[in-house]
């Protein structure tokens, strides 16, 4: 069978608009691998690429940073990886190794990172190139479409919770039951925390308990602060819903020395009362993704504890519809592009 010379990719045509193009299959450069993509999650962070102005003189980018596929070709200097190996690529796909953060071992906060789908082509495509140093080993037992969101939404919530300082039995509140929150509830429960899910509407109580929450708080039915205080306050509250007002209401409901960890970016400001911080020694911090090792540990924990995202899948040609529905929060709960696995692959 003849090897395909081209592949399909979804690029940003104009602000908010995507289109499918045909591109020549590239050879991986030094330190790179070529991946035949199986699935790619559609994340809200993709809007940083899709919603920006397009420069006609620059090759239009392919979004997508929740990528699962198989290595199709190895570039020069790549060691430790094999053709056919199942891998993933997340948000942070490489670091410069020379900036102050990298030199101090904090590669997550690299000042010049390779960001998949933002400053290099991502996974809304049948083929993509990736830096070998940014690859994540993906267990064969995980379905590609379910594994893809774990590489970003899963990693973000898993890492924030396990590094939060909370211990088994502590009250941990998950604010929001969307794309991040529904995974965070599962992780928190399986980590042994007294897991409290917070969202708006009594209709979400059943889902929260199904995901593993021990208690549900309907934010539209009363004071979230008071509800948390009846539990002795939350040791940790994870802000996964993009509402600054909602996150603000969590702070006075924290236990002494409690911590609000922000992982979602709200459109409105998070307002803080200094009294709530000073009296009780409470704190507010942010958390950003993790390393490739963190990502592999996220997948391993999800596999061990049977944690999976709730997804809706779309073929590549419906990328615009998948993106639009994600932006409207009309997906339950993660949109994932799935490539046509019946097409012949690019095997060199």
> Quick one: pLDDT at residue 53?
86
Domain assignment present for 223: yes
Give the N- to C-terminal CA distance of the chain in Å, as an integer: 12
Instruction: Give the model's pLDDT for residue 97.
Output: 92
**Is 206 a domain residue?**
yes
Answer yes or no: do 119 and 189 share one domain. no
pLDDT recorded at residue 340: 78
Alpha helices in 55-175, H assignment, sequence order: 100-103, 144-149, 155-162
Q: Are residues 129 and 12 in the same domain?
A: yes
Domain count, the chain: 2
Q: Which residue range forms the structural domain that includes residue 211?
A: 164-286
Residues 98 and 177 in one domain: no
Compute the distance between CA of residue 21 and CA of residue 274 in angstroms, rounded to an integer: 52
Provide the whole-model pTM: 0.94
CATH of the domain at 264: 3.40.50.720
Identify the pLDDT of residue 345. Answer: 41
Same domain, 253 and 330: no
Question: Is residue 36 located within the same domain as residue 149?
Answer: yes
Residues 168 and 274 in one domain: yes
> Is the preceding peptide bond at 333 cis, omega within 30 degrees of 0?
yes
* pLDDT value for 235: 98
Q: Residue 293: inside a domain, yes or no?
A: no
Coil, helix or strand for 330?
coil
CATH number, position 140:
3.90.180.10
Asked if residue 252 is part of any domain, the answer here is yes
Q: Which residues of the chain have pLDDT under 50?
A: 344-348
pLDDT of residue 54: 81
* 205 and 67 housed in the same domain: no
Which residues have CB under 8 Å from 215's CB, separation 6+?
Answer: 194, 195, 196, 197, 231
> Are 57 and 125 part of one and the same domain?
yes
Q: Is residue 238 one of the residues assigned to a domain?
A: yes
Residue 296 forms part of a structural domain: no
> Rounded to an integer, what is the distance from CA 130 to the centroid of its chain?
18
Q: Give the integer Cα–Cα distance in Å for 102 and 97.
A: 5
Residue 29 lies in a domain: yes
Residue 217 confidence (pLDDT): 98
- Do residue 35 and residue 91 come from a single domain? yes
Do 268 and 169 share a domain, yes or no?
yes
**pLDDT score of 342:** 58
Same domain, 89 and 177: no
- Asked, for residue 42, whether it belongs to a domain, the answer is yes
pLDDT of residue 4: 81
Q: Cα–Cα distance between 52 and 318 in angstroms, integer? A: 21
Question: Residues 185, 147: one domain?
Answer: no
User: How many CB atoms are closer than 10 A to CB 245?
Assistant: 11
């Amino acid at each position: 069978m003849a090897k395909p010379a081209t592949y399909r990719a979804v690029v940003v045509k104009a602000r908010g608009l995507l289109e499918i193009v045909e591109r020549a299959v590239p050879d991986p450069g030094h330190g790179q691998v070529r991946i035949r993509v199986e699935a790619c999650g559609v994340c809200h962070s993709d809007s940083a690429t899709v919603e920006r102005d397009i420069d006609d003189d620059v090759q239009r980018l392919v979004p997508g940073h929740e990528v699962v596929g198989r290595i199709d070709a190895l570039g020069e200097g790549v060691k430790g990886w094999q053709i056919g190996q199942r891998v993933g690529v997340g948000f942070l796909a490489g670091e410069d190794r020379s900036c102050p953060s990298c030199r101090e071992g904090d590669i997550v906060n690299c000042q010049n990172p390779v960001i998949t789908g933002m400053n290099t082509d991502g996974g809304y495509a049948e083929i993509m190139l990736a830096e070998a140093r940014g690859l994540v080993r993906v267990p064969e037992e995980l379905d590609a479409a379910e594994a893809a969101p774990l590489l970003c939404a899963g990693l973000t919530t898993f890492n924030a919770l396990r590094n939060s300082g909370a211990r088994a039995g502590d009250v941990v509140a998950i604010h929001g039951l969307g794309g991040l929150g529904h995974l965070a509830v599962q992780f928190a429960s399986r980590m042994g925390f007294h897991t409290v899910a917070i969202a708006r509407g009594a209709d979400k109580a059943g889902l929260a308990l199904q995901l593993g929450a021990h208690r549900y708080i309907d934010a539209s039915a009363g004071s979230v602060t008071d509800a948390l205080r009846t539990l002795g306050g939350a040791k940790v509250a994870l802000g996964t819903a993009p509402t600054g007002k909602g996150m603000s209401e969590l702070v006075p409901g924290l236990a002494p020395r409690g911590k609000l960890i922000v992982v979602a970016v709200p459109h409105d400001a998070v307002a803080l009362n200094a009294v709530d911080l000073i009296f009780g020694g409470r704190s507010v911090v942010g958390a950003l993704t993790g390393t490739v090792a963190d990502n592999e540990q996220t997948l391993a924990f999800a596999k061990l504890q049977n944690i999976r995202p709730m997804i809706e899948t779309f073929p590549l040609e419906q990328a615009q519809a998948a993106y639009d529905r994600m932006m409207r929060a009309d997906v339950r709960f993660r949109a994932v592009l799935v490539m046509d696995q019946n097409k012949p692959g690019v095997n060199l």
